[in-house]
Structure 1
Amino acid sequence: MTTATTTATVLEASGVTMRFGGLTAVRSVDLTVNTGEIVGLIGPNGAGKTTFFNCLTGLYVPTEGKVSYKGTVLPPKPHLVTKAGIARTFQNIRLFANMTVLENVLVGRHTRTKEGLWSALLRGPGFRKAEATSRERAMELLEFIGLAHKADHLSRNLPYGEQRKLEIARALASEPGLLLLDEPTAGMNPQETRATEELVFAIRDKGIAVLVIEHDMRFIFNLCDRVAVLVQGEKLIEGTSDVVQGDDRVIAAYLGEPFEGAPEDTALDAVEAAEAQAADADADADTDTAEAPAAEAQTADAHTAEGDTK
């Protein structure tokens, strides 16, 4: 029983390719994450790490390849990916700044509640029970990350490190089987980084698999069971921390030196510009499909979201 649980595949990305016009940001990347694993994704700036994350979570529709969660191909819609069981945080913090800490976590519950608009307006017994359950679960998560005592504080007033923790708690509120963390220690001091490392281990101990992007090599190699390296949109190597650290190609890639068999130069500046343009074009759709449904649910749960989401 233990062996089956350990080796069960949670995420399988097969041949994922993402092109922006004639530019290829991610090329034929394969990656699996198993139950109980923490897997790292590293690479130099412009390697395509966040683009790959966006393909996994439905923000981008891959040009080629497929992404499966527990054997089921995921629909290319962020809220449906979250409902399936994958949650994520972002490189740039995306909290609802004028909502409280508790309300931000309640937003993450929207995919796990069945109450709709009419039940919220009528406020019948079913709605009140669901609301109480959501608040109880949200407070448990705040206790888990150490922010229960700040439940009524506005999220914008939290220190940077606590805002990062709050974003993780909001992701956990959707009850995922896989958590994707995009540079969770960016801008943190060593004490905050260590606390984040302990938090990720605690999340894994709850049975949630983790896939993490990070530039802090000490953090990633201490944390992860396996590490995959992206270079110019292609997977260069995947293995244990010791294997990856000892690979000369990885060292050369980080130093910007060419190595035998390196991917072709894909004009990284142009790729980054294309990604930025695509992100701007998709901004409204992203808000409608990912954040707007969450804000509507929070309006029902906390009675304050309609004004606060602005």
Structure 2
Amino acid sequence: MTTPVLEARDVTMRFGGLTAVRSVDFTVNSGEIVGLIGPNGAGKTTFFNCLTGLYVPTEGTVSYKGTVLPPKPHLVTKAGIARTFQNIRLFANMTVLENVLVGRHTRTKEGLWSALLRGPGFKKAEKASEERAMELLEFIGLADKRDHLARNLPYGEQRKLEIARALASEPGLLLLDEPTAGMNPQETRATEDLVFAIRDKGIAVLLIEHDMRFVFNLCDRVAVLVQGEKLVEGTSDVVQADERVVAAYLGEPFQGEPGEAEATEVTEAGTGTSGDAPSTTSTKGEAK
């Protein structure tokens, strides 16, 4: 039986006169991979920021395993939600291992004086953190680069490292913001395998993504956000067949049945066969 890990109820986010997210209800259950898609400016990243405490929602609540989350990022992480960002945010001049160790800070109990005195308790905790960090580097395939500076890694490996750092906080839910942005097809397939492996470790996953083929292959459920509102939610087949999704991605108002060409375009977006599919669309115009 699946149980809710994340529950967002009536989440609304306003910036002055702009409503970026409007009355969104959203649930992620244990063992699920859920996708959040939508055109540029749909409010996807804003919604992510509301879930992770970067923004305080104007209205509504966000709960993790039945407990309402405080709107502070470090407390959200401590509760069990970790995330990556659309733009990679690694510590460029720190090593691969050091970047993962940073992600352990919410799970270590040693304080300032323990760190300064470097007593037996601190050394034991430090060793345990390093062992856990190395397990994660083995898991993502970067153990042999533990001493490399993060800035010297290829782009795809930097993405992996950011995921490993998020996993270091021992989350029950991992939020991925554009995990395949800028990746080639081989790197995208490797990321797909990695997300499945993360789910198999008992971690639920919620992701924003513009690569439709990636989303439809990976996700148990997909929700479509348009102009800050949830348009439709369901399995990949349900979402692909919804005519309102076709209209939303074409930037046209829905008026009755869409033409055959429009339906074909969105279908091809789901299979990755169209060169004009929205899978490569940038999210730089996303409402923040």
TM-score scaled by length of structure 2: 0.89
CA offset at residue 259 of structure 1? Answer: 1.5
1:33-72 equivalent positions in 2, closer than 5 A? 33-72=28-67
CA offset at residue 22 of structure 1? Answer: 0.9
Matched, 1:204 2:202: no
What residue in structure 1 maps to residue 77 of structure 2?
82
**What amino acid maps onto 1:17 in structure 2?**
T
Matched, 1:122 2:121: no
What residue in structure 1 maps to residue 24 of structure 2?
29
1:249-268 equivalent positions in 2, closer than 5 A? 249-259=244-254
Q: Is the 8 A contact 2:43 2:287 kept in 1?
A: no
1:260-299 equivalent positions in 2, closer than 5 A? 275=288
TM-score scaled by length of structure 1: 0.83
Identical residues among aligned pairs (%): 90
- 2: CA distance, partners of 1:144 / 1:273: 32
Write 1 or 2 for the structure with the bigger share of helix.
1
1:89-128 equivalent positions in 2, closer than 5 A? 89-128=84-123
- 2: CA distance, partners of 1:22 / 1:62: 15
User: Which blocks of at least 5 consecutive residues in structure 1 are unaligned?
Assistant: 262-271, 276-310
Q: Is the 8 A contact 1:20 1:274 kept in 2?
A: no
**CA root-mean-square deviation:** 1.2
Matched, 1:16 2:11: yes
SS of residue matched to 1:144: helix
Give the 3 Å change call, closer, same or farther, for CA 37–103 of structure 1 in structure 2. Answer: same
User: Which blocks of at least 5 consecutive residues in structure 2 are unaligned?
Assistant: 257-284
- Paired positions, count: 260
- 2: CA distance, partners of 1:44 / 1:201: 25
Please list the CA deviations of residues 189-219 of structure 1 after superposition, one character each: whole Å capped at 9, or x if unmatched.
0000000000000000000000000000000
**What amino acid maps onto 2:130 in structure 1?**
R
Q: Is the 8 A contact 2:244 2:254 kept in 1?
A: yes
What residue in structure 1 maps to residue 280 of structure 2?
none
SS of residue matched to 1:46: coil
Please list the CA deviations of residues 17-42 of structure 1 after superposition, one character each: whole Å capped at 9, or x if unmatched.
00000110000001000000000000
Q: Is the 8 A contact 2:110 2:125 kept in 1?
A: yes
Matched, 1:135 2:130: yes
SS of residue matched to 2:8: strand
Deviating beyond 6 angstroms after TM superposition, the runs of 4 or more aligned structure 1 residues are none
Please list the CA deviations of residues 125-163 of structure 1 after superposition, one character each: whole Å capped at 9, or x if unmatched.
000000000000000000000000000000000000000
**What amino acid maps onto 2:102 in structure 1?**
V
What residue in structure 2 maps to residue 227 of structure 1?
222
CA offset at residue 274 of structure 1? Answer: 7.4
